[in-house]
């Protein structure tokens, strides 16, 4: 499938909205495209609030002197935590960087998965590039983004450092979301459509204030092999899927279809989503799973950022824009 057409939550949400409107219970048709266009970023990976929170808290955990530099640029980094998702709409090859369908690498008709080769060239030799891109290239992309950040530190280019820092955090966080590791990413294959936004947007938005994001499982920040760990991350994310789906099924059985959904006002739109009652019960059945994946995301961001800086030779951190970045900013301003 063309990666541009495989815009995960966006495409699944289109289906969901169409289904809902076909019952006569949803937005008037002339609002449909407008609502989708406005809301689709909310429905992509972690959601606005969680992505921003992950970056914000990860900065807090980074050791000095990188901490001081990131803290001084906190506002920009938090603001741009979702840029990678916004690019899915306009950049060919972007969409597949946010996920990997691990179950596509499993044995047919079994739950067992077999990780593809961790080196991109070996993976291409085994599966071919088109198949890999169709199944998602999340873990390989992490290494490329990590190398981008090292290059940016070496160049002491403030703009590049900030962009690479925000992007790396985004992709790392996405791969901590269980539903980013399966072809059943929005429950369409199991009759659980809408589960993507439920898990990664509605639960964090409703319960994030209760999460303990301070006590992180960081043993050491400097890890020269940190990019290897992404393969354990996606395995762990994939293992979480059984509970993601079973908890939704149990919640629906207990509350019944009539209590499962409600119309929610989000910004200037009205949207049919899981009800607050459903979100609360689902969250309790997940046994802290969303909080755990969020804290792991925060720890990973902190470790990867710091390790990239160390691997770049611990260069002084730019306070002012370099000549290169100043020139680039001027060119961008002119062609806008
Ligand atoms: Zn994403």
What's the whole-model pTM score? 0.82
User: With bands split at pLDDT 50, 70 and 90, how would you rate the model's confidence at 46?
Assistant: confident
> Which residues have C-beta within 8 Å of that of residue 230, sequence separation ≥ 6?
138, 139, 142, 143, 172, 175
User: With bands split at pLDDT 50, 70 and 90, how would you rate the model's confidence at 242?
Assistant: very high
From ligand 1's centre to the CA of 253, what distance in Å? 31
Q: Extract the tokens encoding 289.
A: 């799973």
The CA–CA distances, whole Å, from 191 to 202, 205, 265, 307 equal 19, 24, 25, 42
Q: CA-to-CA distance for 268 and 270, rounded, in angstroms? A: 7
Q: Is pLDDT above 50 for 322?
A: no
pLDDT at 122: 97
From ligand 1's centre to the CA of 255, what distance in Å? 31
User: Regarding beta strands 261-266 and 269-274, do their DSSP bridges make them parallel or antiparallel, or are they unpaired?
Assistant: antiparallel
User: With bands split at pLDDT 50, 70 and 90, how would you rate the model's confidence at 52?
Assistant: very high
Residue that wins the pLDDT comparison between 111 and 112: 112
| Structural domain 48-213+225-335, CATH architecture | Orthogonal Bundle (1.10)
pLDDT at 215: 82
Of the listed ranges 34-48, 74-88, 265-279, the least confidently predicted one is 34-48
Structural domain spans, the chain: 48-213+225-335
Q: How does pLDDT run across 139-196, given as a tens digit for each residue?
A: 999 999 999 999 999 999 999 999 999 999 999 999 999 999 999 999 999 999 999 9
From ligand 1's centre to the CA of 254, what distance in Å? 32
């Amino acid at each position: 499938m063309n990666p541009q057409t495989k815009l995960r939550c966006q495409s699944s949400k289109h289906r969901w909205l169409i289904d809902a409107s076909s019952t006569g219970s949803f937005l008037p048709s002339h609002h449909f495209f407008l609502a989708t266009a406005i809301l689709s970023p909310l429905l992509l990976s972690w959601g606005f609030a969680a992505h921003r929170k992950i970056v914000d808290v990860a900065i807090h955990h980074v050791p000095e002197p990188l901490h001081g530099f990131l803290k001084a640029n906190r506002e920009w980094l938090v603001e741009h935590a979702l840029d990678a998702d916004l690019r899915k709409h306009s950049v060919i090859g972007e969409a597949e960087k946010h996920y990997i369908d691990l179950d596509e690498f499993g044995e047919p008709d079994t739950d067992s998965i077999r990780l593809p080769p961790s080196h991109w060239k070996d993976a291409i030799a085994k599966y071919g590039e088109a198949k890999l891109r169709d199944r998602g290239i999340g873990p390989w992309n992490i290494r490329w983004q990590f190398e981008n950040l090292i290059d940016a530190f070496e160049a002491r280019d403030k703009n590049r450092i900030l962009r690479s820092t925000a992007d790396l955090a985004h992709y790392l966080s996405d791969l901590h979301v269980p539903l980013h590791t399966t072809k059943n990413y929005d429950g369409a294959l199991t009759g659980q459509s809408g589960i993507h936004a439920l898990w990664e947007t509605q639960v964090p938005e409703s319960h994030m204030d209760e999460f303990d994001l301070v006590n992180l499982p960081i043993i050491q920040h400097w890890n020269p092999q940190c990019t290897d760990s992404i393969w354990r991350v996606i395995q762990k994310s994939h293992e979480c899927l059984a509970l993601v789906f079973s908890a939704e099924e149990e919640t629906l059985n207990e509350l019944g279809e009539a209590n499962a959904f409600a119309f929610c006002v989000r910004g200037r739109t009205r949207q049919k989503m899981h009800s607050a009652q459903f979100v609360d019960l689902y969250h309790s059945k997940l046994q802290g799973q969303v909080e755990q994946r969020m804290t792991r995301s925060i720890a990973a961001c902190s470790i990867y950022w710091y390790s990239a800086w160390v691997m770049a030779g611990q260069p002084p951190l730019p306070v002012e824009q370099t000549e290169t970045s100043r020139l680039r900013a001027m060119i961008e301003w002119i062609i806008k």
